[in-house]
Structure 1
Amino acid sequence: MSQSPSTDTSANGTSTERKGLECEVAVIRAPIDIEALNRGAVHPACGAVLTFSGTVRNHHLGRPVVRLAYEAYEGMAEAEMRRVAAGVAEKWPDVRRVQVVHRFGEMDVGASSIYITVSAPHRPEGFEALRYVIDRIKRDVPIWKKEFYRDGESEWLHPEEGCCRNHLHLEDSEASSAPPKN
């Protein structure tokens, strides 16, 4: 995914530049190359590189999970993730680089299904931007998740279903990352 900011390779990822922000987004079916993303996240103007790896966990609401599958209309999912990533520039203009890779297809427990990097001059805006990106993707991008359980059953989950009763939603995230009121 090492592309120049103006390169557009829509089938395998897109890199665009908006207001000084470099965004790279990709939808893939192979394992995510985390090391390459980490190398690509480094930006000379940034002292904070933050990462998020969403991994397949071994349970959901008390049921043992053996694997899961993510599916989507990949072109639409990629376009929506690109929109979310580019939206960082409006909220955090100092953030310089955002990379998002989402894997689709079946994955075993422990596999990374989504990997996000944010490069910012300082950590506060980097953490806020990272949380914004993952929460917006979970809320806005049309992705379907199917869980396969140890007992042989499987089920498709609603995109907004969390892992537990107190699962964080975007509104909670935006409230906690809002600047303090004077």
Structure 2
Amino acid sequence: MRNTRKLVLISVLISLSVVLGIIDKYISSFILPGAISARLGLANIVIMLGIIYLNFKDVLLIAILKSVLIGFILGRFDVFIYGFSGTMLSFFGMWMLYKFTKDWFSLIGISLIGAILHIIGQVTAVHWLLISDIGYFSLYFIVNPFLIPASMITGVMIGILTKSLIRYVDNSGIFKR
């Protein structure tokens, strides 16, 4: 891919992931008002497509900037830390699964594991940031057993959406394999 074309493509993918992340926040707030950090994970469609079509550095850049920009736009440092922690663990896990075990795991399975890793990353961040705030920390672990099954459902949905988009993306010629 030529440098200008690649730069534009990565910029568009970063923008798309941020827009999907913000839409996701508002959809989730409407469906589950008051839910602690419950999201559908729409921006992960972009990350998964990047894992399939782009190199490691480019997808890592997309994942990092998605988290930074969403945290900045939503104006909350805790949103950034939790989102970044979950995104990084999820990204590395999905990337390794896709690159090394894609013959054993479907995209749906990889997305499912990525969703679980995202929750684990968030819980780890909560542990490190809120260990002194026992009330909130305890609340998070009470809510967490509900987040993992929910993330499994949304992980499967995101995997199905990503898998269905691949045919269209391949036909579009946006990514040249």
In the superposition, the TM-score normalised over structure 1's length comes to: 0.31
In the superposition, the TM-score normalised over structure 2's length comes to: 0.31
- Structure with the higher helix share, 1 or 2: 2
Relative contact order, higher structure (CA 8 A, sep 6+): 1
